[in-house]
Chains A and B, each alone.
Chain A
Amino acid sequence: MSLHPAELGDLTPSDPNRRQGVLARYHLDLPLLVGLLLLSTYGLVVLYSASGQDIGQVERQLLRFLLAFGVMVGVAQIRPDQLRRWSPWLYLVGTLLLVLVLVIGDVGKGAQRWLDLGVIRFQPSEMVKLAVPMMLAWYLYDKPLAPSVRHLGVAVVLMAVPVLLIAKQPDLGTSLLVASAGVFVLFLAGISWQLIAGLFTAAAAAAPIAWHFMRDYQKQRVLTFLDPEKDPLGAGYHIIQSKIAIGSGGLWGKGWLNGTQSQLDFLPERHTDFIFAVLAEELGLVGVSLLLALYLFIILRGLYIATRAQDTYGRLLAGSLTLVFFVYLLVNVGMVSGLLPVVGVPLPLISYGGTSLVTLMAGFGMLMSIHTHRKLLPR
């Protein structure tokens, strides 16, 4: 097959002859960028109220956003084939660091997630959130899809090692997120529906093993979910109060800064994990719908980018990252509205705090890179 240069010139975004916008030059995807900016602005507005009108907290969060968006832009400049080539190394380093953290944690006799690098403290499990889908996508990149049983077996092992290491830390929330990232890659790679049904059964069977890995306080949380009365000061009380906050918000809400549940300190963790309840109380179902619509827009754009990606690696990675973003949303809102147990997962781009923010935005940077570095191939 031969390509005609003129044909290329018309359609390739990187063609120097074509007049380029700033966005294209910096490999940014306009719809995704707009969605993320709107969502984070919304987040700052809600945070101002949730923090008890503490402008200092809003400023600190804004700084984190700036850093995270900077990381996103930086990552977007890396070509997808480079990302692919780095994948196994990133995975290897991430897994080794997880082992290291466990060893140091053993010495310190307690839960250990951080690695102190002197200047910064760094959580290797965050790195692994990206490294696992990258690794699986790298592994399946040149394999015929749907994957054979052997390839699937290798992929499951690749996924399970870091997941178990994180669960041992113990950080159940993060290990579930990492596991879901891997599962999404396999799902998108086209494993058969029978297998999916089988995996569900296996997961149910593995629950007792997971129970064995849990620390006492985690077991406590699961028990609390099953019987909220057991822990009236902790999670049970949290859920009761957050349901009151959401329900009393009604269709239009009590008004920004006017939520009684939020402002009078009935709501726990109101600026972090439970910030959704503040939003629902003060801005009502309308505000909630706007939030969910923004999320939906970002997710659909992400999936679209995945379908337009040009190789298996880009497709699987972009699809998995997008769906993990959705899992954050689902787990957090499910928890706050009393549908799911209390797991410490933040509401992405809305909750106060920065550990997972940088990782999420780096993931969006990869999506942008995958979308904007495409070359035309004959169809």
Chain B
Amino acid sequence: MQIKDHIREEQAFLGRAVVSGLLVIMALLALGARLFQLQVVEHDHFTTLSKDNRVKLRPLPPTRGLIYDRSGVLLAQNRPAYSLELIPEQVKDVEGTLERLSRYIEIDADDRERFDRLRRRKRRFDSVPIRVNLDPEEAARFAVVRHLFPGVDIKAQLLRHYPFAAATSHLLGYVGRISTRDLETIDTSNYAGTSHIGKTGLEKSYEAVLHGEVGVQQVEVNSVGRVVRVLEETPPEPGQDLHLHLDIGLQRIALEALGDYNGAVVAMDPRNGGILALASKPGYNPNLFVEGISRRDYKALQDNHDRPLYDRALRGQYPPGSTIKPFIGLAGLETGTIRYDTTYYCPGYFQLPGHEHKYRDWKKSGHGPVDLDIAITQSCDVFYYKLAHNMGIDAMSSYLANFGFGRRTGIDLVGESRGILPSREWKRRNKHQPWYPGETIIAGIGQGYFLTTPLQLAAATAAIANGGHLVQPHVVDYLQTRGSKERIPIPRHDEPIPVVSQADWDDVRVAMEHVVQGARGTARRIRSVAYHMAGKTGTAQVFTVGQEEEYEEEKVSHKNRDHALFIAYAPTEDPQIAIAVVVENGGHGGTTAAPVARKVMDAWLLPRLYGSDAKIANDVTDAPTTSTPRDGT
């Protein structure tokens, strides 16, 4: 054991401190020598360089890659735009100048606010926009009086424009001015000269390929720094174009089909995961954000009760309700809990052994004896209460995890929600509580803690349609460099789901087909003779009904009405499209959500199955339109 020797340590420290001091002095002398070399020895050389320093390098920003839909329709373009800009250093009286300018060109309060904000951020010799998007007439008006305003000039630049505005708002996102926060994550020299950067949606997730590489221009300047001529130029490399799987026609049909409701429609190709439509309603006009949205417009968007900025397709989390039934039915078959012909009796309610609480079926009188086919076709709840109870939460949630519930799908867009796949583990971690048996029962009909996004539902439906491949959804099909024919495909990802018995999968698919095509199916009203569709209706509760009360649609205010859900794929023999529809406060899955899916499927499949000119008798088969029961819970 050593003992501290204070005196010796103090002396040792003194030694080290002196060495440090000497090292500092030596290093400073070295710096001094370097500066002496630059400032005295090589002074003449650098003076010459400085006097001849007429060559400045100017960055040439690359043009941003364009975004096309699958048939080459332009979704995001670069439009020339004129802006009126002012260089504070060259203007003596900025306020007076703006005042005089407003006699020729309208400058409103929002313009002033943006001008003041940007001026604070920029250096005195940087030009600051006063007005953006001048129309040609305004530009001409200014050109006449330009000589009266030294330091003010019109600048032409390319501005991003989204021709379909709200229809593509969540999907494409938008670009906005580069913020100080953005600067922390980008290579600043590649963004020298670039004013905008992708903020959300595809514009953000594909920023690296859309932006391109900066170019350089050597320019000669005069003694006060004005550009005299261009000496040499390395042109910028434009960003790559994105070609999407998405079909803009289908996207618009999906939005139209939602009518006045808010909601989301996700349609994907179950064979490769390509997103055909990704619609969230309502949307917003992304063009407002490109040149800086005014505070008033932004507040209006934020305060809007319909939450237009919220991407329901990716972020909206809804209880799957009865749309989970095919998956749980498959879980029951594959885990050996039931067989296809296993029959449970449905008296209209279910009770846990030794408990009073009645878990009710949506059909008060009960379905009688029910097998899996009837349970899916007519959406019997009691069958699923019993199935869930017999299977247990652990087997159920570990099987459902195969379908991607409770985790991000990994789509090539930012900000996707995870949803919740209820399990013992999840509850312990998030609620710090044990799992209760009753929670298994309601999880069996997609209620309780269960939450899914429309995107997750579509991907899971695709996996049933394609026979067990959880394909990662993606929006972009391939990239293309401008002027080149070469297509650079986006890598695909596919997770196989273990198939115990192919027959189980076929059984569930047949039951889903009966939902639409069968005489007693909950979605029989959208039956089509042109192709066969398989689907499942669902209803997600917004409002909890008391134990002895009954949900009566008329008595519940619109905001509290159930969300209507529908998942489907078609044609059943060779699925080409899988779809998930959520209609907020739409009531029944069969009456409001299913027709939306039918419209989208028709638009997609009819031209593909029969050619675009074919006229087919494709009317909805006359189904009895008696008062509709509440389709499942």
Q: CB within 8 Å of B: which residues of A? A: 51-54, 109-111, 113, 142-146, 148, 184, 187-188, 190, 216-217, 220, 231-235, 237, 241, 243-251, 260-261, 264-266, 280, 284-285, 288-289, 292, 295-296, 299-300, 303, 306-307, 312, 315, 319, 323, 326, 330, 333-334, 337, 339
Q: Which of B11-57 contact A (CB under 8 A)?
A: 12-14, 16-17, 20-21, 24-25, 27-28, 31-32, 34-36, 38-40, 42-43, 45-47, 49-50, 53, 56-57
Contact of B221 with A by CB under 8 A: yes
**In the complex, are the beta carbons of B20 and A247 less than 8 A apart?**
no
Contact of B5 with A by CB under 8 A: yes
**In the complex, are the beta carbons of A334 and B124 less than 8 A apart?**
no
**In the complex, are the beta carbons of A188 and B20 less than 8 A apart?**
yes
Q: How many A-B Cβ pairs are below 8 Å? A: 155
8 more A-B residue pairs beyond the given contacts A110-B184, A312-B13, with a C-beta to C-beta distance below 8 A: A51-B124, A144-B4, A188-B16, A233-B189, A288-B39, A289-B32, A300-B24, A337-B35
Whole-angstrom distance between the alpha carbons of A264 and B223 in the complex? 9
Q: CB within 8 Å of A: which residues of B? A: 2-5, 9-10, 12-14, 16-17, 20-21, 24-25, 27-28, 31-32, 34-36, 38-40, 42-43, 45-47, 49-50, 53, 56-57, 59, 89, 123-125, 184-189, 192, 214, 216, 221, 224-225, 414
Question: Given A260-B50, A337-B35, does the pair A233, B28 have CB atoms closer than 8 Å?
Answer: no
Contacts of B45 in A (CB 8 A): 247
**In the complex, are the beta carbons of A299 and B24 less than 8 A apart?**
yes
Question: Given A247-B45, A251-B40, A307-B13, does the pair A111, B185 have CB atoms closer than 8 Å?
Answer: yes
**In the complex, are the beta carbons of A247 and B224 less than 8 A apart?**
no
* A113, A146, A220: the one within 8 Å of B184 (CB): A113
* A146, A216, A250: the one within 8 Å of B47 (CB): A250
Contacts of B224 in A (CB 8 A): 264
Instruction: Please give me the residue from chain B that is nearest to A319 by CB atom.
Output: B17
Contacts of A243 in B (CB 8 A): 38, 46
Whole-angstrom distance between the alpha carbons of A177 and B17 in the complex? 19
Whole-angstrom distance between the alpha carbons of A292 and B89 in the complex? 33
**In the complex, are the beta carbons of B185 and A296 less than 8 A apart?**
no
Question: Given A246-B38, A260-B53, A303-B17, does the pair A330, B12 have CB atoms closer than 8 Å?
Answer: no
Whole-angstrom distance between the alpha carbons of A113 and B181 in the complex? 10
Instruction: Please give me the residue from chain A that is nearest to B30 by CB atom.
Output: A339
Min Cβ gap B30→A in Å is 8
Instruction: Please give me the residue from chain B that is nearest to A253 by CB atom.
Output: B39
Instruction: Please give me the residue from chain A that is nearest to B7 by CB atom.
Output: A379
Question: Given A217-B187, A243-B38, A303-B20, does the pair A248, B3 have CB atoms closer than 8 Å?
Answer: no
Min Cβ gap A191→B in Å is 9
**In the complex, are the beta carbons of B39 and A249 less than 8 A apart?**
yes
**In the complex, are the beta carbons of B43 and A144 less than 8 A apart?**
no
Instruction: Please give me the residue from chain A that is nearest to B193 by CB atom.
Output: A233
**In the complex, are the beta carbons of A307 and B14 less than 8 A apart?**
yes
Contacts of B187 in A (CB 8 A): 216-217, 220
Min Cβ gap A28→B in Å is 22
Instruction: Please give me the residue from chain B that is nearest to A191 by CB atom.
Output: B16
* B5, B20, B27, B89: the one within 8 Å of A330 (CB): B27
Contacts of A231 in B (CB 8 A): 189
Contacts of A339 in B (CB 8 A): 31, 34
* B27, B32, B46: the one within 8 Å of A244 (CB): B46
Min Cβ gap A376→B in Å is 15
- Across the A-B interface, give the 6 residue pairs with the lowest CB-CB distance, nearest first: A247-B46, A234-B189, A248-B50, A110-B185, A144-B2, A247-B38
**In the complex, are the beta carbons of B125 and A52 less than 8 A apart?**
yes
Min Cβ gap A102→B in Å is 14
**In the complex, are the beta carbons of A246 and B56 less than 8 A apart?**
no
Contacts of A216 in B (CB 8 A): 187
